[in-house]
Amino acid sequence: MTVGPAIDDLHFSQEPDVDEVPGPKSNELLERQRNVDSNAVAYPRRVPIALDEAKGATIRDADGNTFLDFFAGIGVLNVGHSNPYVLDAVKSQLDDVAHTIDFPTEARIDLIDKLREIAPGGLQGSSNVVFGGPSGSDAIEGSIKLAKHNTGRQGVLAFEGAYHGTTAGALSLTAGKKYKKGYSPLLADAVHVPYPDPEGTEDGISVERALDAVQRKFEDPYGGHESPAGIWAEPIQGEGGINVPPQGFLQGLRDIADDNDALLVIDEIQTGFGRTGEWFASDHYDVTPDAITMAKALGGSGLPIGGVLYHEKFDTWGPGGHVGTFRGNAPAMIGGIRAIDYIESHDLLSHATELGEYIRGRFAELAETTPEIADVRGKGLFVGVEFVDEDGAPADDLVEAIQTRCYENGVLVWSAGRHGNVLRLIPPLVLTEQQAEVGTNIICDAIDSSTN
């Protein structure tokens, strides 16, 4: 017996249905937004639609155009928009009690139990979870405090290409200069070292070189900084360009953290909850982190919730050691439980693995006749396609042109990469085979027409 509807029944349709976009109602709302909303608004500049409704892996705009959603609210809607199995429980919890600070509720304790069950490696059954503020950045802040509190040290180490969020501590770990410009100084003693390039990259940064740089920050007496309290790493870099590190990297980080009494914090905010075909991307590398940060898909329905799951030996802080008013969003908690149940019951980890292989296979085939495709990579439904120009330089304009053509033909895609030259595909895990095929056809056509 499976729970909730079959994945085929979650969507408006299996194919997009788009007239000329943006339509008049979208244009009107976009214009109203430009007049009153912040200049910081970013997404509608690239994908100019006003949203009306969304179901499964489909989105309907204010003019009734239906799109296939290949970015899932940037990795939030793993079980699809408005999944009824999730929403029924969320709505009923909302009627009962919504805001619970950190008083016990069934939703809270059941969610923690579930997270302890699906946690990577040795964290299973021997971990605790702390909820703080509701965003991924808040989870990262919590993990920084956890590492400092447990080691008595201040420094933090992260990687070039990293994205960990935008609050002061998280922003210190984020590597993108555009996010930091004008806001320094942030945390003192935050260092960034190279992240290894994906397997097979010519003249790339090897695992050995990356690990050597990390080790020197801890062990070189003239390394330039106090030994860090922890190492923060995305198991696959998302914003950085869907960079899949070769085997050996996470294990090497594990060893260095152990040798230096530092915490290994793996940021699973974008990679968690089945995105890569395992519950957490750490599982691909058989490494047990000391802590994982979670947000995005954790709440199941898009309601915000963030948290840190860490080994119980680090649960050394006292009452109030890490707090936040919005640490008890019960509807998001029950949504998280339902989403995990739905993923389990519909075997979406295998489904994500299979569809991801199919989609990457299609782009790899296209790459044979498209020299602008420099690389196709990822795991599960975390897919990156890297583009270069005829001189081998990053082709961010090309990615933007492809994105626009996809949008005009009914598929919403996003970009990534240090230079914005990677097409990032992170559809809901409930994407059907037919949607994967139709969507990939449209993306391949957009690549063809933008490169010829």
Residues binding ligand PLP (CB under 6 A): 74, 135-137, 140, 163-165, 234, 238-239, 267, 269-270, 295
Taking the complex as a whole, the smallest distance from the CB of residue 162 to ligand PLP amounts, in Å, to 8
Name residues whose C-beta falls within 8 Å of residue 252's C-beta, 6 or more positions apart in sequence. 207, 210, 211, 214
Q: How far is Cα 452 from Cα 59, in angstroms, rounded to an integer?
A: 30
Taking the complex as a whole, the smallest distance from the CB of residue 234 to ligand PLP amounts, in Å, to 5
The residue (of 87 and 170) whose beta carbon lies closer to ligand PLP is: 170
Taking the complex as a whole, the smallest distance from the CB of residue 179 to ligand PLP amounts, in Å, to 11
The residue (of 55 and 192) whose beta carbon lies closer to ligand PLP is: 192
The residue with its CB nearest to ligand PLP is 136
Residue 443: what are its φ and ψ, rounded to 5°? Answer: -65, -40
Taking the complex as a whole, the smallest distance from the CB of residue 319 to ligand PLP amounts, in Å, to 26
In the block, tokens 């040795």 appear at: 122
User: How distant, in Å, are the alpha carbons of 149, 158, 160, 208, 441 from that of 174?
Assistant: 21, 8, 8, 23, 34
Contacts for 183-189: CB closer than 8 Å, 24+ residues apart: 187/144, 187/154, 187/156, 188/154, 189/154, 189/155, 189/156, 189/225, 189/226, 189/228
The residue (of 243 and 435) whose beta carbon lies closer to ligand PLP is: 243
The residue (of 163 and 363) whose beta carbon lies closer to ligand PLP is: 163
- At 361 the three-state DSSP class reads helix
8 A C-beta contact, residue 424 and residue 415: yes
Taking the complex as a whole, the smallest distance from the CB of residue 139 to ligand PLP amounts, in Å, to 7
Taking the complex as a whole, the smallest distance from the CB of residue 425 to ligand PLP amounts, in Å, to 15
The residue (of 56 and 307) whose beta carbon lies closer to ligand PLP is: 307
Strands in 51-55's sheet, in edge-to-edge order, are 51-55, 58-61, 66-69, 411-412
The residue (of 10 and 236) whose beta carbon lies closer to ligand PLP is: 236
Taking the complex as a whole, the smallest distance from the CB of residue 109 to ligand PLP amounts, in Å, to 24
8 A C-beta contact, residue 291 and residue 115: no
The residue (of 1 and 42) whose beta carbon lies closer to ligand PLP is: 42
The residue among 347, 341, 426, 417 whose CA lies nearest residue 379 is 426
Give 3-state DSSP helix, strand, coil % of the chain, rounded to 5.
40, 15, 45
